Amino acid sequence: MSFNFQGRQLWLGLFFSLSVGLALMSCTDNPNVVSGAGSKDEAEKFIADAEKRLLELNIKAGRADWVKSTFITDDTEALAADANETLIGATTELAEQARRYENADLSPESKRKLKLLKLLLTLPAPKDPNERSEVTKLTASMEGDYGKGKYCPDGDKGKCLSLSELEQIMANSRDPEELKKAWAGWHQIAVPIRKDYVRFVELSNKGAKEMGFKDTGAMWRSKYDMEPDAFAAEMERLWQQVKPLYDSLYTYTRRKLSEKYGQEVVALDKPIPAHLLGNMWAQGWANIYPLLAPANADRGYDLTQILKARNTDAKQMVRYGEGFFTSLGFEPLPATFWERSMITKPADREVVCHASAWDIDYEKDVRLKMCTQITEEDFTVVHHELGHNYYQMAYSGKPFLFRESANDAFHEAIGDTVALSVTPPYLKQLGLIDKVPDPQADIGFLLNRALDKVAFLPFGYLVDQWRWKVFSGEVKPDDYNKAWWELREKYQGVAPPVPRTEQDFDPGAKYHVPANTPYARYFLAHILQFQFHRALCREAGFSGPLYQCSIYGNKKAGERLRAMLAMGSSEPWPAALKAMTGEDKMDATAIIDYFAPLKSWLDEQNKQVSE
């Protein structure tokens, strides 16, 4: 979750939530937008022209954004904003014009291109120019309120804490009162967002209906090559598959927290207070691993210290990642990657250090942007990010509208799939460790990973479930906060640490809500990465515990991976999934298989206590 890929088209969808209104107004008076029906020849020409125009504008915006991210100044920010505004305006105009050709007799490929073009929008704004202007101001206001949010203890403006500072408290403090203040302090920043969000929902839904969708949530769900209601049912099916694993982890965690803080703070028959799980949103619990770690959890090596002792530099860290892919049969990274990437933090200027993989020209100009540290964490991050770069290069031969992952969860899932192969056997093959640790230490490893991967699942599911209910009208504005906490208790088993009312707007304390960024992709990526990993390990002939598998050096697994990556988004995602796994349905049994030893251990721990 911390190292999200931001490809141009995927990123474009997020950016619509911030500035779509200004761009939309640029085509409001365009007489060519959805006027009459277009012929087959007109449609084919429209698609070809649209792809050419979007490719050119995406490259220009990508270059401007790269410079802005690796050389932050007022000027580079302004240039990037101008390029993005032009791109957004063109994309919005083309998405609306595409509707003119909905009934044309087109090939399946052209029909898919039209569908993908129309679904590039994340925020469907109304046609009325005044309402478009209003939704622009609302989205800017909500995102601005979130970005400026700070907690000032005791109202002291000289001691205000930013979100990053509050997150450090949430991660490291073991004082319940300090944690409670940090949690409540951050959540109060969302109060002003509430009134704007109510109006935003009204305007967004109006735009979605004008585009032929039931509401905005239905439009989002339509991006998954399924009927909206069928996609919602699919999400629930996947959740039910993983729920027993989550329940075992939850029961163990609640008991250990109760031992730490006492039953008056964490009662064994009540939800866990949300401020005690090491994260502002209780979406990942890895920060409290020291409170939960089993005995004999030491794996016997410290990769960070090993890398430093070998005087490993940032370039060598990336070379390790490249070597993983070449061992599978992929080509080495192009020379331009090494010439143009930013893999260390420059000493002479401000940059965005958040790790990300870039596809500048949609062919071979892929880059890594990362302020690489010589740590075990960044060793894994490098493998993750290069997974995105190799995906980008694999589909570069496709038409422009197909140069994207099969759905918005696939890219992130591929990065994480690669990272799952960073195992002790892999490190031994690289010569970084002398021997594979005793399996007795594996429970600690699996527990730590589950606190990241498994603990996230219910939160990854409920954020959009809440928004779907809001957009559909099932949840009214008077019940926004009530519905949020009902979902959080139902799925996560957590409760607010302080009383909440409808004066609060706790969903708005999570960036993706005020920023209008869909969240289902993160839940699906956490499911798909294990399904991908299991399929590749099976192809490689691996027969041991799934968590011990690394596909490093296996050409057969590499061939299967490359075949799926090369498809891009040219076919519906079930076809891409089948090319990789032989299965055409998402299946959470892979994550169950991966954590099977941990599940048995957790159940035994929980049973001993209950007896």
> Tens digit of pLDDT for each residue in 226-259?
999 999 999 999 999 999 999 999 999 999 999 9
How far apart CA 383 and CA 325 sit, in angstroms, is 9
Q: Which of 354, 474, 502, 563 is catalytic?
A: 354
Q: Percent of the chain beyond pLDDT 90?
A: 77
Residue 599: φ, ψ to 5°: -60, -45
- Place 586 in a pLDDT band, splitting at 50, 70 and 90: very high
Dihedral (CA of 486, 236, 240, 406) sign: negative
- pLDDT at residue number 354: 85
Q: Which of 85, 512, 575, 596 is catalytic?
A: 512
Q: Determine which of 21-30, 136-145, 207-216, 551-560 has the lowest per-residue pLDDT on average.
A: 21-30
The SS3 call for residue 357 is strand
pLDDT exceeds cutoff 60 at 30? no
Residue among 10, 92, 117 nearest 521 (CA): 10
Tell me the pLDDT tens digit for each residue of 68-123.
999 988 898 889 888 887 887 788 889 888 888 988 999 999 999 999 998 887 77
Per-residue pLDDT, 611:
65
Question: What local confidence, expressed as pLDDT, does residue 92 receive?
Answer: 80
pLDDT of 24 above 50: no
> Annotated catalytic, 275?
no
Instruction: Catalytic residue, from 131, 167, 322, 385: name it.
Output: 385
| Residues 468 and 221: beta-carbon distance below 8 Å | yes
Q: Which residue out of 355, 357, 450, 509 is catalytically annotated?
A: 355
Task: Give dist(CA 397, CA 85) in Å, integer.
Answer: 27
Mean pLDDT of the chain: 90
Instruction: List the catalytic residue out of 101, 391, 426, 522.
Output: 522
Query: Of these residues, 187, 388, 411, 533, which one is catalytic?
Result: 388
- The active-site residue, picked from 187, 384, 526, 533, is 384
Task: Decide if 522 is catalytic.
Answer: yes
Taken in order 17, 514, 1, 443, is the CA torsion positive or negative?
negative
533 catalytic per annotation: no
Query: In whole angstroms, how far apart are CA 320 and each of 312, 323, 430?
Result: 10, 5, 9
Residues whose CB is less than 8 angstroms from the CB of residue 275 and which lie 6 or more positions away in sequence, other chains included:
170, 176, 179, 180, 182, 183, 282, 497
Active site residue 384: yes
Q: Residue 166: which residues within 8 A CB-CB, separation 6 or more?
A: 151, 182, 185, 186, 280
Catalytic residue among 93, 143, 404, 412: 412
Is 385 in the active site? yes
Q: Is 502 a catalytic residue?
A: no
